[in-house]
A and B are shown apart, each in its own frame.
Chain A
């Protein structure tokens, strides 16, 4: 069964969001991330709504793909997909509320999709895209709204680990989770 997945973030955006180079223990790492704006200024409500909408679109896509995996996948993956789907239904409700509080309009549509070979692979690759987008967004989100986004990243990462296990991939390959595994990214380059 082919599953539609949201388009991956570009490498530039991934690396802008990434602390991966920190793993080398280099002081250059933080500079490499490229953020130079005044960190003490809070993000405007309009921008914050925009960022939360990017996260929301990814979560809506996860709900769609998790539905397939919850039905047709092996037991471990199916259980994780079903649980994740419930979590995302609740978290998208909360995100929509937060966006409305910021006078924004919640994104009604899921993020764009790409093909995958199976439901489990579809969910794995979708979760990688969702994690990458959420990590990208969280840096600019004001402290009082960060926790639910961090929670979603953590939940997505846990579910991704189960999908990877089912697919025979390395379960926890990276010290800094960027979305796609670092080795996978290098192959793609």
Chain B
């Protein structure tokens, strides 16, 4: 279990949204409202969905990656010397990632699965292993571009695993948002026109990417 991710610790970082599970909501006397707010599709599913599944297993790492990305933007915005446009962009895209993490964590809770808790320590996130919040702007932009590419790929892999229509649509909308952020960061980094819309390889039906398949074919040919 990760440490509690409250960032009201004098760092000036935006506090994470307080997340409550359904049990906690009921304990706080707003259970009726919480249950009334649940989508009929999930309520109707009942106990069959109220447990871990391929869907929730697929959602959890994506929530964690969104939390990591929100933290990275936030720390970079605070720690690095950035041009005003880049600072504004990091602030906005960190908010996007936070909104995604919150929404998907809510979905997990509605499926009765405890979402991963956010951490304020980058070392808790594998995706941030090489992250340096005080790095020069060009290096930070490249790092964030890498994270956004990872997110675009993550949503392409997530979509086939999702069961509820609303979640599938939300996953598509979030993946699209990361694609736009990717372009925005490349524009800030001065990428050549031909590279602006380049996306990570699409996963194939068996979950591998096209490039992995090509590499495998090349290996077999050797």
Contact = CB atoms under 8 A, between A and B. Distances in A.
A112 B109 CA distance: 41
Contacts of A65: none
Contacts of A25: 17, 99, 102-103, 106
A117 interface: no
A155 B197 contact: yes
A36 B16 CA distance: 31
Contacts of A19: 103, 166-167, 169-170, 173-174
A175 B99 contact: yes
A80 B179 CA distance: 13
A100 interface: no
17 contacts: A19-B173, A25-B102, A26-B106, A27-B106, A33-B169, A35-B41, A39-B164, A83-B194, A135-B169, A144-B205, A149-B172, A153-B172, A154-B152, A172-B96, A174-B177, A176-B170, A177-B176
Contacts of A26: 37, 106
Interface stretch (A4-12, A56-64, A158-166): A158-166
Nearest to B105: A25
Contacts, number: 200
B38 A27 contact: yes
Interface string A105-144: 0000000000000000000000000010011101111011
B136 interface: no
B184 A22 contact: no
Contacts of A92: none
Interface string A22-49: 1101111111010111111000000000
Nearest to A43: B165
Contacts of B124: none
A131 B159 CA distance: 16
Given A135-B176, A174-B96, 7 more contacts: A30-B38, A37-B41, A144-B160, A150-B172, A150-B175, A157-B179, A172-B180
B177 A176 contact: yes
Interface residues of A, number: 61
B187 A20 contact: no
B173 A177 contact: yes
B79 interface: no
A48 B193 CA distance: 36
B202 A39 contact: no
A141 B187 CA distance: 34
A161 B103 contact: no
B215 to A, nearest CB: 20
Contact of A150 (B110, B155, B197): B155
A21 to B, nearest CB: 9
Nearest to B102: A25
Contact of A172 (B34, B44, B166, B183): B183
A154 B3 CA distance: 34
A37 B42 CA distance: 10
B39 A177 contact: no
Nearest to B169: A139
B41, B172, B182, B197: which has the most chain A beta carbons within 10 Å? B172
A30, A31, A153: which has the most chain B beta carbons within 10 Å? A30
Nearest to A23: B99
Contacts of A141: 168
Contacts of B141: none
Nearest to B187: A165
Contacts of B170: 19, 22, 176
A178 interface: yes
A171 B38 CA distance: 33
B196 A37 contact: no
